[in-house]
Amino acid sequence: MPRIQVFNCPSCGARLTVEGDEAQVKCQFCDNTVIVPEELRPKRSAPPVIQIRTTRPSGAAGVLAVVALLLTVGSAMAIFLLMSTVQNKASEQVSSIQTSVVQQVSTVVVQTTSIVGFSATLAPNLTPPPGFAEVVLTFGGKGTGASLFDDARSIAVDDEGNLYVAEYSTGRVQKFDAEGKFITSWIAEGDTPLRGMAADRAGNVYVVRQGAILKYEGATGKLLDNIKGGDYFDDVAVLPDGGLVAASYLNRDDIVHLNADGEVVSRIEEAISGQTGDSELDTRVAVDGLGNIYALGHFNNAIFVFTPEGKFVNKFGSDGDEPGQFRAPNAIAVDGQSRVYVSDIKGIQIFDAEGRYLGVFEPPNRAFVFGMTFDDQNELFAVAGDQVFKFVLKGP
């Protein structure tokens, strides 16, 4: 009997079940296609080692085989003696060719093979170094204690480099210093999944839960404000001037610009569906240093770019498995050069400010990244369920 696993839908919080080895399941409540967490998938066994063996003849057949072998060897020796002069010169060329062939073959053999008693221990299967980013810090683990995580999906960093990591279901927010040392924690108000988080330069932390933006004092976890109005917020990002950009869904997919006091300044109505004609129930938002707005449409599998004034200027990405396409995109972040980073099942894909695909890199253990953010040193922080990774970018 296959083992049945249970986890929560990242869009609506409904319980999902997975049976067997499927990589994706569909939520019957919100119709969202959900990636099955890596830890719930069955471990695949290594392929069997194939050994080639020879059988030894026995009895009369064995005697005849030995006689035939001796006659063959005797004939070969006679021919060898007659042609020794020719072979002396040819052997030098053959030896050179053999050496070249052995050198080439040795570079491509990747596993231990045993053939007729001959055994060779070959080069290990090494993981190539990442092309665009290097992991310089990892911390966390599965659990409910300090510095451990139970399905963490949101991450933010303040101007002092302090990190805030929030759990999806419990609403617990943990604060760490720049080296991953635990400082404090608190529980965000509400009982629905915690959907997004951001931090401003004044040390305030904005948590999206229960459709509201909850403003906390980062140093103490004290609740300072509850921002909601007529919206049902789903994600939030902090603008360079201290204002906020938030994704809202209440019968339509809007992007809302709020000032530092939480008052609505402007609104992009039907920000994604107005461009594609297709509904968007799960929007992630990020901003660059100029105030441009980047919206990731999970259901539309694309990035939509708006000016600080809310004018639509670009769209890139599509549904698919090719480079630059998305399959279950989940998080977005923008670095100091306005390069756009998007996580999906392939890893973290990188685009330039114009939407041109630059490359992709994988988090350790092919972890699925749920949240990303950058600090002032252009270092990327990513959270993947029970682990936090810090990347130093090496390119492009």
Give the CATH number for residue 235.
2.120.10.30
Same-domain pairing of 143 and 28: no
- DSSP bridge pairs for 292: none
> What pLDDT sits at residue 22?
75
> What pLDDT sits at residue 23?
74
Q: Domain for residue 128, yes or no?
A: no
- Residue 319 dihedral angles phi and psi, to the nearest 5°: -80, 130
Same-domain pairing of 73 and 208: no
* Residue type for position 168: Y
> What pLDDT sits at residue 96?
42
Same-domain pairing of 213 and 67: no
> What pLDDT sits at residue 89?
40
Same-domain pairing of 295 and 383: yes
| CA–CA separation, 102 and 153 (whole Å) | 50
Q: Domain for residue 215, yes or no?
A: yes
As a whole number of angstroms, the longest Cα–Cα distance in the chain is: 102
Same-domain pairing of 231 and 137: yes
64: containing domain: 59-110
How many structural domains compose the chain? Answer: 3
Q: Which two tokens stand for residue 122?
A: 């070959």
Same-domain pairing of 206 and 245: yes
DSSP code string of 206-273? EEEETTEEEEEETTTTEEEEEE-TT--EEEEEE-TTS-EEEEEESSSEEEEEE-TTS-EEEEETTTTH
Q: Domain for residue 355, yes or no?
A: yes
> What pLDDT sits at residue 31?
62
| CA–CA separation, 382 and 175 (whole Å) | 15
Q: Domain for residue 382, yes or no?
A: yes
> What pLDDT sits at residue 34?
73
> What pLDDT sits at residue 183?
98
Same-domain pairing of 306 and 269: yes
**Positions of the chain with pLDDT lower than 70, given as ranges:** 1-8, 10-20, 28-32, 38-39, 41-131, 395-396
> What pLDDT sits at residue 35?
78
Same-domain pairing of 222 and 323: yes
Q: Domain for residue 54, yes or no?
A: no
Same-domain pairing of 236 and 316: yes
Cis peptide leading into residue 396 (ω within 30°): yes
Q: Domain for residue 119, yes or no?
A: no
Residue 191: exposure state from Cβ atoms within 10 A (0-12, 13-18, ≥19): exposed
- Residue 275 dihedral angles phi and psi, to the nearest 5°: -90, -30
Give the SS3 label for residue 72: helix
Same-domain pairing of 254 and 138: yes
Query: pTM for the full model?
Result: 0.70
Same-domain pairing of 76 and 189: no
Q: Domain for residue 180, yes or no?
A: yes
Eight-class DSSP state of 57: -
Note the pLDDT tens digit of each residue in 52-81: 344 444 444 443 343 343 344 344 443 333
Q: Domain for residue 9, yes or no?
A: yes
Same-domain pairing of 185 and 254: yes
